[in-house]
Structure 1
């Protein structure tokens, strides 16, 4: 999957990404402000979450449930992480083994802890309201 899209098309991009991802660990790469959290909001909504996704920058992780209170996704933002030990201390291994969708922003902060089959999702600025997305499957 590689394409350009307008920000107004983010729901369609999220749906396509969920359909094409070979597993549930999505690592979102991109500059600050490119739309990683906006994409996660669309992904979580597409999965049927009852809550609106927000950036977990300060808490490091948010969890999302559907209308039956079933856990459907975790959203991580490791921007403020100082080292990989912090991720291990918060129980990252348990999250990785949870079997639910994992959306990880700033995965480069925990690169040696990521599963080999994690899917890289690369977002880039094209124009003010246009982005490019590329899926990198190992």
Structure 2
């Protein structure tokens, strides 16, 4: 499934991803500045959270909750990892088994740790304001 969109269309794109995703584990493949975190903000809102979403570049993981206080999920940014073992050191396995939504930026840094039941999302930059998103297995 593919979408061509701009930032104003993100709420609809998020709704489509939630509806059509084959998994609650989402792996975002995109270059720097393509809008991964911005899209994740829309997804978190679509899923019922009003938490502030920011890239967990330095902390590696952020946790988000629903309005009820229940766990929504976790947001990872693996950009700064030097080795896959660093993801294991923060307890990646425990997060993946949480049954919450998982949003992974830079999953290509941990290829051997990615579960098989994952939804790959590729974002391509078309121009300054337009992106192409591809949902693939």
TM range (shorter): over 0.9
Q: Deviations over 1:72-126 (max 9, x none)?
A: 0100000001100000010000011110100000000111000112111000101
Moved over 2 A (4+): none
- 1:45–1:52: 8 Å Cα contact kept in structure 2? no
Task: Show structure 1 runs of 5+ residues with no match.
Answer: none
1:46: Cα distance to partner? 0.7
| Corresponding position of 2:8 | 8
Distance 1:130 1:52 in 2: 24
TM alignment of 1:3-82, pairs within 5 A: 3-82=3-82
SS at match of 2:68: coil
2:85 matched residue in structure 1: 85
Gaps of 5+ in 2: none
Match of 1:120 in 2: 120
- Aligned counterpart, 2:110: 110
Give the root-mean-square deviation of aligned CA atoms.
Answer: 0.7
**Distance of 2:98 and 2:33 partners within structure 1:** 29
What is the deviation of 1:6? 1.3
Cα distance in structure 2, aligned partners of 1:29 and 1:20: 18
Number of residue equivalences? 137
